[in-house]
Amino acid sequence: METIKLTINGVEVKVNRGTTVLEAAQAANIYIPTLCADPDLEPYGSCRLCVVEIEKIRGLPTACTTPATNGMVVHTETPAVNEVRRTSVDLLIANHPMDCLTCRQNQQCELQQVTAHLGITERRFPRTDQAFPVDTSNPFFDLDRNYCILCAKCVRTCDEITGINAIDLAFRGYSARVATFGDKPLIESTCKSCGECMVRCPVAALTPKETRRPIHEVKTTCPYCGVGCQMYLGIKDGQVITVRGDRDNEVNGGHLCVKGRFGIAEFVHHPERLTNPQIRKNGKLAETTWDRALDEAAARLGQYAPNEVAVIASAKCTNEENYVLQKLGRAVLGTQNIDHCARL
């Protein structure tokens, strides 16, 4: 691929042709504020925060939509640029709730970061009284339009990434908002609840109902379906409380579906989980110790001829577990009657 050179804030940056100015700056660790750009989405240029000055180009182009060219000279922090950014953020926060401390996105909010970066410490425009009811109809996440900044990341995600198109920007001007077909609650829409929109929301407009945050994360493989999505389980107090898609792998690139993202903690921590061996006595299952259970298993399985016994392994268990079980069937029970539900 052809490499080009450009200068950003006096630093020479080498990138592949086709890279945008925003991506080039990010590659060189130069921060340009943005709220609508996302590496998984096509450039959109709606938030106007990534405006930059480029020598020999008129006006203030948006870095996210401008391809880098050879010899380009870019300035990301000029007075003109910052004045435009500041006004844009002033308008975005004019009506934005100011409950940052108790907000679900506190310290993860991109609007918070951008506002801090620009040194904004007061609201310049008066707040209006427009208020939207919160859509809590989805069982896993809420849509609170009062926080929405209309960056359309959710709308674009539902189109470009998932191809579901359950939501779009509806109405005009001041009434513009993210809406489903017919402006119905999310649960009545075609939304498949994958949560990809929620993951990309820069503010607290789309947030999970689970508001706790994990202490640490463990990378693993999703237990649903054969795609094998890579995910991080978020752990707190010995419990799985969150699931996050791993972006750095070739299988799912961070994407998850509704089961993987929202369908794990509840079954793992379900009160009906089996916690003790049980043995049938007088027709009823009763709890027993591992020692007795394992003795019983060994004694009973050992009573039968190879053609009288069978082993059914599991497409839900690990390779290692299937291996030892088929080995037990073949080497110890002497049978080839070994299968699992591959066909079912």
By CB under 8 A, tell whether 307 contacts another protein: yes
By CB under 8 A, tell whether 41 contacts another protein: no
The neighbour count for residue 16, using CB atoms within 10 Å, is 13
By CB under 8 A, tell whether 263 contacts another protein: yes
Nearer to another protein, 98 or 331 (CB): 331
Question: Looking up tokens 């079954």, which residue turns up?
Answer: 267
The CB-side HSE value for 15 (13 A sphere, CA atoms) comes to 25
Among positions 84-143, residues that touch another protein (CB under 8 A) are 139-140
The Cα–Cα gap between 241 and 263 comes to 11
**Part in contact with another protein (CB under 8 A); list of ranges 1-9, 23-31, 126-134, 267-275:** 267-275
Structure tokens at 189: 């829409």
Nearest to 134 by CA among 91, 97, 88: 97
Among 7, 162, 170, 244, binds another protein (CB under 8 A): 162
By CB under 8 A, tell whether 78 contacts another protein: no
By CB under 8 A, tell whether 70 contacts another protein: no
Nearer to another protein, 80 or 294 (CB): 294
**Part in contact with another protein (CB under 8 A); list of ranges 87-95, 118-126, 199-207, 247-255:** 247-255
Nearer to another protein, 89 or 158 (CB): 158
Asked if residue 322 lies in contact with residue 316, where contact means CB atoms within 8 angstroms, the answer is no
171: left (phi over 0), alpha (psi -120 to 50) or beta: left
For the stretch 174-200, what's the b/e string if a residue is b when 16 or more beta carbons lie within 10 angstroms of its beta carbon?
eeebbbbeeeeebeebebebbbbbbbb
Nearer to another protein, 18 or 306 (CB): 306
Show the binding pattern over residues 271-300: x = contacts another protein (CB under 8 A), - = does not. -xxxxxxxxx----x----x--xxxxxx-x
The Cα–Cα gap between 85 and 60 comes to 11
Nearer to another protein, 90 or 296 (CB): 296
Among 173, 211, 266, 282, binds another protein (CB under 8 A): 266
Angle formed at CA 61 by CA 55 and CA 67, multiple of 5 degrees: 80
**Part in contact with another protein (CB under 8 A); list of ranges 11-19, 71-79, 143-151, 154-162:** 154-162
Among positions 186-245, residues that touch another protein (CB under 8 A) are 187, 192-194, 218-230, 233, 235, 238-240
What is the closest distance, in whole angstroms, from the C-beta atom of residue 244 to another protein in the complex? 13
**Part in contact with another protein (CB under 8 A); list of ranges 73-81, 105-113, 156-164, 178-186:** 156-164
For the stretch 247-270, what's the b/e string if a residue is b when 16 or more beta carbons lie within 10 angstroms of its beta carbon?
eeeeebebbbbbbbbbbbbeeeee
